[in-house]
Structure 1
Amino acid sequence: MPPKKGTPNRRGVARREQILDAAVELFARQGYRGTGLLELAERIGISHPGILHHFATKQDLLRAVLDRRDQFVDRVTRDFAGEGTFGLQNSQDPAEPEIVTRLMTVLRAENLDPEDPLHDYFDERDRQTRDLIADEIRRGQQRGEIRSDVDPDTKAAEILALTIGLDTQWLLNPTQIDRAKIYHSYLRTLRDDLTRPDAPRRPTDDP
């Protein structure tokens, strides 16, 4: 039985995912501005109209790439909801794949000017991340786990800045920068800095 009109078939879905995967790779290596749809089509062995069948413009393709990444981040965030300010300390590594980390770092660097097309996107996502971290700190303060003299908004900005900077350092020199080790070392130091000496420790806290 043929699929209903407007319902993507399996082949169409697979092709769309193939285009997105190739776009992530090229945008991450060459930047959005340095990548053309013709080059993308040649990379995966389809025609230029084949790309346009799924994505009418390069900007539509970029938006789909970002939407897929945002869904991943939101899923990870939900997985650690309720784990507290230091819940991510119990994960093994920063969760995002290397190519996606490279993609977001390159796109961020391309969109620092307020007039750039993705400036507002990064500004808003950063604000959401800072708010999420700050809210976790406030909840920790309400539970009596975090010092009351800590400014949640300032500390949230510091944590986000460390994360972005660490990603950049790691991408520049992955053989010298052990991202996971530094990441977890920072979280342990952060915990010691923020928590009250008499605060109760969770069972998953490191000694």
Structure 2
Amino acid sequence: MQKTARIRLTADGRRAQLVDEAEAMIAQEGFSNFSIAGLAERAGISRAGVLHHFAGREDLLIAVLDRKERESAALSSRYISDRGAPDARAILDLLVRHNIERPEVIRLFSMLAAESIAPEHPAHEHFKRRLHRGAEQLEPLLTGYSRSPQSIAVELLSFMDGMQLNWLRDPTLDLWEHWTGFADAYFEGLAETERNRPAAT
């Protein structure tokens, strides 16, 4: 196992280092094989030193997941700030392009999402809520249709997650092509439904 030479860091710097190392270890070995002792060795500090900053394995796992979600939220916020209020399709396209550039992060999320299906897994509730949090962020951009914004958002995010999982299994799949083909047809279907809906009397 790779071991990092011990250096003095601020408390925030040490926490960030531990989250970095934990993310790399979980991506390589899965959470079930991740240990505080292994993290301490890799980070070049004692087990007690790790536990000074994090309560345990579960605390570190949630820190890894929370940081990744904050990164995605910040990306969307910067896009909105730079270009004004975009539609949901623009935000989803942005996230898909971003994910294509970081397959190792998507692999980590997919691995943990599968492991956390078990109700006793420490990330079970996190992933259960993740879809609803993502849908809530998209809902204000999906108004104006006869169907509920929540239903539309859940379907879009579910396709994205499923397609990314297949892309990880088979990198020869063109994730961008499959996403845009689906999204074009999906949003056109929504628009067609609205065009054909009888006018209110």
Report TM bin, short chain: 0.7 to 0.9
Which runs of no fewer than 5 residues in structure 1 stay unpaired?
1-8, 142-147, 200-207
Once the two structures are TM-superposed, the CA of residue 22 in structure 1 deviates from its matched residue by 1.3
Between the aligned partners of 1:75 and 1:89, the Cα distance in structure 2 is 14
Residue number in structure 1 paired with 2:128: 123
TM-score by length of 2: 0.76
- Does 1:101 find its partner at 2:106? yes
Residue number in structure 2 paired with 1:42: 41
Between the aligned partners of 1:158 and 1:106, the Cα distance in structure 2 is 21
- The one-letter amino acid of 2:110's match is T
Contact 1:28 1:103 survives alignment (8 Å): yes
The correspondence for 1:83, drawn from 86, 90, 103, is 86
Contact 1:25 1:99 survives alignment (8 Å): no
Between the aligned partners of 1:36 and 1:89, the Cα distance in structure 2 is 35
Once the two structures are TM-superposed, the CA of residue 93 in structure 1 deviates from its matched residue by 4.8
Residue number in structure 1 paired with 2:169: 172
- Does 1:157 find its partner at 2:154? yes
Between the aligned partners of 1:195 and 1:111, the Cα distance in structure 2 is 36
Structure 1, residues 27-60: CA drift from partner, whole Å, max 9, x if none?
A: 1222212111111222233332232232231122
Once the two structures are TM-superposed, the CA of residue 189 in structure 1 deviates from its matched residue by 2.7
Contact 2:72 2:95 survives alignment (8 Å): no
Q: Which has the higher helix share?
A: 2
Residue number in structure 1 paired with 2:20: 21
Between the aligned partners of 2:194 and 2:11, the Cα distance in structure 1 is 58
- The one-letter amino acid of 1:18's match is Q
Residue number in structure 2 paired with 1:137: 142
Once the two structures are TM-superposed, the CA of residue 119 in structure 1 deviates from its matched residue by 1.8
Once the two structures are TM-superposed, the CA of residue 117 in structure 1 deviates from its matched residue by 2.5
**Which portions of structure 1, spanning 4 or more consecutive aligned residues, are displaced by more than 6 angstroms?**
none
Contact 2:15 2:53 survives alignment (8 Å): yes
- The one-letter amino acid of 2:174's match is D
Between the aligned partners of 1:151 and 1:44, the Cα distance in structure 2 is 48
- Does 1:191 find its partner at 2:194? no
Which runs of no fewer than 5 residues in structure 2 stay unpaired?
1-7, 196-201
Residues 92 and 39 of structure 1: CA distance in aligned 2, closer, same or farther (over 3 Å): closer
Between the aligned partners of 2:22 and 2:50, the Cα distance in structure 1 is 11
Residues 53 and 115 of structure 1: CA distance in aligned 2, closer, same or farther (over 3 Å): closer
User: Quick check: 84-93 or 129-138, which moved more?
Assistant: 84-93
Contact 1:24 1:99 survives alignment (8 Å): no
